[in-house]
Structure 1
Amino acid sequence: MSNSFVRTAILAPEPPPSGEKGAVAWLRRNLLATPKDIVLTVLALVFLTWALFHAIDWLFVQAVWSGPDRTFCATTVQGGIQPDGWSGACWAFINAKFDQIIFGSYTLDQRWRPTLVGILFVLLLVPMLIPSAPRKGLNAILLFGVLPIISIILLYGGFGLEIVETPRWGGLMVTLVLSFVGIAVSFPLGIVLALGRRSHMPIIRTVCVIFIEVVRGVPLITVLFMASVMLPLFLPAGWTVDKLLRAIVGVSIFASAYMAEVIRGGLQAIPKGQFEGADSLGLGYWQKMRLIILPQAIKLVIPGIVNTCIGMFKDTSLVSIISMYDLLGIVRFLFTDPNWASAVTPLTGLIFAGFAFWLFCFGMSRYSAFIERHLDTGHKR
């Protein structure tokens, strides 16, 4: 019996039909599949086009980019130079107040000091964020050990530098100080709390559970209020604690409770065999956690960690409740300047502050996605 009709080689796969791939196929499948989808897509495009046109016109085309005061953004009736109505976005306000938005009321001739701290921070942070950069241990020591000491000396003063009291700090500088210190403190403290909550020692476990549940059960505003207003009442007469330090402690404690639960979720996701394997190697508790368990747990909860950091970065705006002017607080405070009182000034300032917050949060989100892809060695799709 002849087998000549049986093919001995496997045919190469044929490409998909041209109508089933590409942008046109995606549009037909997701946006134009049914008459209802077509109507909704057309209505959405019309609305987006209308909204985008007016947004671009207000933000850029009709905007005022320079000027010494509100008259460049106001109508002639309000004492301005705009004949037909209010101008678009008053970016002249942001341009005139930019230094205050960044530094608050920090001494004018000393602003080179926070600028230098910012440059040092970027120079040390960037290599830390690049996985292939060498000498991570030295970099970490410089970033988390040496830089904070240098920053305190430069920002506050002493050792020959003019003293600049923390009530004069403000703007983006305060937002970055609060968020960076809060993240740097809450992450290791959260790990300790998560391990303590899983401890077999009843006293340690109870203390950690009470701390986490109490802190998570109250709003951040309450924590800041207690740290700023109530704490001095319990101190001896003549004793005081710097208001910025109180805010940093409050934000760090609040974030550490949430961070602890995120880390605990990662610890619970580790298979029991990993713990047993580490025990079979004769590793001690801290060796087991440092070398085997925590690296795997932290890798699993990177999205939760970054989400907590993003939330903490945005929550720094709540320090305005204790009369500290962060980025959003200083922008809102600058609205009270009568030289820039106009109908478009508040909206312009809030859009700028919102964009600044979005820029930092989006950067953290994108870096989180990059790290997830870089560490995704055991779950390849």
Structure 2
Amino acid sequence: MSLSYVREEMVPPQPAPVRTTGVIAWARQNLFATPFDAVMTVIGVAFLIWAIPPIYNFIFPTFLGGDAVPPGGTVEDCRAAGAGACWAYISARMSFFIYGFYPPAEYWRPNLVFLLGALLIVPLLWPRAPFKRINALLFFVVYPIICYYLLNGGVFGLRRVPTEQWGGLLVTLIISLVGIICSMPIGILLALGRQSKLPIIKTLCVMFIELWRAVPLITILFMASIMLPLFMPQGTTVDKLLRALVGVTLFSSAYLAEVIRGGLQALPRGQYEAASSLGLSYWKSMGLIILPQALKHVIPGIVNSFIALFKDTSLVSIVGIFDLLNTVQAASSDINWSSPTQAVTGYLFAAFVFWIFCFAMSRYSIWMERRLDTGHKR
């Protein structure tokens, strides 16, 4: 019996196949896959059409088709009816937002600190940059000493500028950098201590972590700035900025300790046994085998803690330290630039600065994750 089959009539024409690539295919798959998706897409587009034009007009200056007053404008322009953001006010008070009450004649000193920091941190973050050890030594040891004497003065003929006159973005960067750099090693030690088999060390680390995680940062700053001097000998004073630095660092280290402990627990037990089989001591096995893998696994959590720390620096304003946010709030009371949009423009500027730094840290962490993703392929 023959199983062959020969068609005796033509197949009727069929519609063209649906495209699986291109803009139309992407929209069909992601925006109009179901009737509900289509309705939500239409609502979202309608909302954007309603919201974007007034936001654009408020933020962008007149030469770009908006209503905002560009840098170089006057206060009368900002007070005009229908005027948008007063960027002329930001331009006029930019020095105050960056340096606070730092003497204008000494601006070259924080500028030099900014320049040295950029020159040292860029090659440090670039994996293929040469002389890593020298660069790290300069950034973590030499650079803080230079910054202190440059900003504080009192030596080499430099005018003394007390920390009460520091402010703006300068203080925000100081608090965030000191908190990030100092909290990382403390957090690693606390995480290792919490996993220690020695009861005393483990108990002390657990008590420290749980205590600092259970108390809000605002309370810690109040204790450091107001309550701490009451427990010190009479006549003893501690710099307010230093107290805030210590409080922020210890607070952040407690959260980092739990993030790092999660990375340590995520490693398979075989890694610990392999380190022991090589005859390595505890510290060598942790420094050469365990910690590099654990830290790689928790890069998102570590960077998330750094971003939270950078944003939490704005809380130091409640204890009288003029960080970026506090300078913006103080400048909003300037009657010389009083306008209906003065305060909103200042907060928009502060939000944009915070977003720039946080977004940069986020993108760098994503890049490092992809670069260090050697254990498996996505």
Q: Which TM-score tier does this pair reach, normalised by the shorter chain? A: over 0.9
1:1-381 pair list within 5 angstroms: 19-60=19-60, 61-66=66-71, 70-74=75-79, 82=80, 85-159=81-155, 160-381=157-378
Q: 1:9 — aligned with what?
A: none
Which deviates the most, 51-60 or 368-377?
Answer: 51-60
Deviations 1:47-76 (A, max 9, x none): 1122111111111111112457632211xx
Query: Using the alignment, how far apart are the partners of 2:197 and 2:335 within structure 1?
Result: 62
CA contact (8 A) 2:67 2:82 kept: no
CA RMSD for the aligned pairs?
Answer: 1.1
SS in 1 for 2:237: coil
- Alpha-carbon offset, residue 34 of structure 1: 2.9
The answer as to whether partners of 1:86 and 1:344 remain within 8 angstroms in 2 is: no
Cα distance, 1:44 vs structure 2: 1.1
Moved over 3 A (4+): 66-70
Paired amino acid for 1:182: G
TM-score (norm 1): 0.92
Supply the distance in 2 between the matched residues of 1:373 and 1:223 (Cα, whole angstroms).
37
Quote the offset at 1:43 in angstroms.
Answer: 2.1
Measured in 2, the distance between the counterparts of 1:126 and 1:287 equals: 29
Q: Distance in 1 between matches of 2:341 and 2:239?
A: 36
Aligned residues of 2:221 and 2:319 also touching (Cα < 8 A): yes
Q: Which stretch has the larger CA shift, 122-131 or 339-348?
A: 339-348
Which residue identity is paired with 1:133?
A
Q: How many residues are paired up?
A: 356
Contact 1:63 1:90 in 2 (8 A): yes
CA spacing shift, 1:69–1:236, aligned 2, 3 Å: farther
Q: What TM-score, normalized to structure 2?
A: 0.92
Supply the distance in 1 between the matched residues of 2:35 and 2:185 (Cα, whole angstroms).
Answer: 55
Partner of 2:13: none
Tell me the alpha carbon deviations over residues 104-126 of structure 1, each in whole angstroms, 9 at most, x when there is no partner: 01011001000000000000000
Partners of 2:72 and 2:116 lie apart in 1 by 34
SS where residue 244 of structure 1 aligns? helix
CA positional deviation for 1:37: 2.4
In structure 2, what residue type is equivalent to 1:71? E
Asked if 2 retains the 8 angstrom alpha-carbon contact of 1:69 and 1:339, the reply is no
Matched AA of 2:36: K
Q: Which residue of 1 aligns with 2:4?
A: none
| Percent of residue pairs bearing the same amino acid type | 58
Unaligned runs of 5+ in 2: 1-16, 61-65
2:252 and 2:275 map into 1 onto residues whose CA distance is 30
